[in-house]
Amino acid sequence: MKYKYTISNKRSNEVASVLIAVFWLMVAMGITIFGAMVVLKADLEVVGTEKASFRALQLAEMGIAVAAHNGIEKYDNILTQPPGREKDPAISDFFEFELDEGFEVEIRKEASLINPNYYLLRPTPENLKAMADVFQSWGMELSEAQEVVHCLLDWVDADEITTAAPEGAELEWYEKEGLGGGNYPFNRAFYDVDEMQFVKGMDLVAGYKPNWRDYFTVKSQGPVDVNDAPANVIAVAAGLLEMEDIGGSDYSEKVLEIQEFLEGPSGRNGEDGVKDTEDDVSIDAGLLVQELIRLDPPSPEQLSSRFTSNGNTLRIISTGIKGDYRRQIAVVLRNRGNRPTIISREEIFVK
């Protein structure tokens, strides 16, 4: 009897060991399966995010395609197709939208900003004076403004001869200062506004006007378009003092007068005085020039060459929306219509 009891006890211990092993095996399998499910869920979320983000990009491209049509005006309702709202039949008949999808498009003239290449690549005394007037409108002294203009000119011209030594800056100056690694100046037109920051003297400009980049473009065809430029940019292009105080936040009285003219009954904003609405009118550049002359600009005889009313380069900014995801594209388009030319295309980071 004692022998049988021992054998039975041994078998019980073996069964218990097997059960414990099976239990731990099940635990290990559970952990493995749980981990796989977590990874799978994360992968699915990544795929879902990428899919939604890509769809938002498609919707942004859709907005560009709509805005590029020559018959679309910047105030047309078709440019605003937000999620959760029934889409315009002109859109929904050709494209399918989910409830959480849509796009918003802004159209503005690229000539609403100042093109430095327009003046620097044609370095007549009048054009160089126009650039100096820009810097003076931010409070710079004439001598300071002229020095910066000479440095800008040396950057874009093809030679290595300093324009107005010692005020200008060619290769020798940049090498002496340890700047550019022998590559400055570029000796070509500015391809991007950010390139201007590398030019001698632009740090001085930044001291007077930290956001100077906001006033320039290199993608327009030249003069500032009076039908799209804000009042303060028009004032700067004319050489009128922009701010009451250097570095201040209050526009000068002359900027306010320009704004009042633009929003008045004879201005570009029409009867409602609101920009980018259906009753907007196109004003002639000469009409604005007469108003600017009344404000006593430093170079009244040159104003007519600085402004136009026929800028034909557009910046189209389209934001595609898919749920919580947004993608934004900016396209600069010239000669919108039968033979449009894309000057640039870039995706803008949206928070």
Chain segment 157-207, per-residue pLDDT in tens: 988 888 877 788 999 999 999 998 889 999 999 999 999 999 999 999 999
Report, as an integer, the average pLDDT of 247-270: 88
Tokens in use for 165? 């030594």
Q: Confidence class of residue 275 from pLDDT cuts 50, 70 and 90?
A: confident
Share of the chain above pLDDT 70, in %: 91
What are the chain's domains?
A: 56-111+313-348 (no CATH), 114-308 (1.10.40.60)
If you average pLDDT over residues 4-20, what whole number do you get? 65
Q: What is the pLDDT of residues 138-148, one digit of tens each?
A: 999 999 999 99
Nearest C-alpha neighbor of 302 from the set 232, 233, 224: 224
Kindly tell me if the per-residue pLDDT of 265 is higher than 90. no
Cβ proximity of 44 and 85 under 8 Å: no
Helices (H), 200-275: 202-208, 231-238, 253-263
pLDDT tops 80 at residue 257: yes
Q: Is the pTM of this model over 0.85?
A: no
**Average pLDDT rounded to a whole number, residues 264-269:** 81
CA 156 vs CA 123, 145, 153, 264, 343: distances in Å:
10, 17, 5, 40, 20
The mean-pLDDT minimum among 45-49, 53-57, 98-102, 328-332 falls in: 45-49
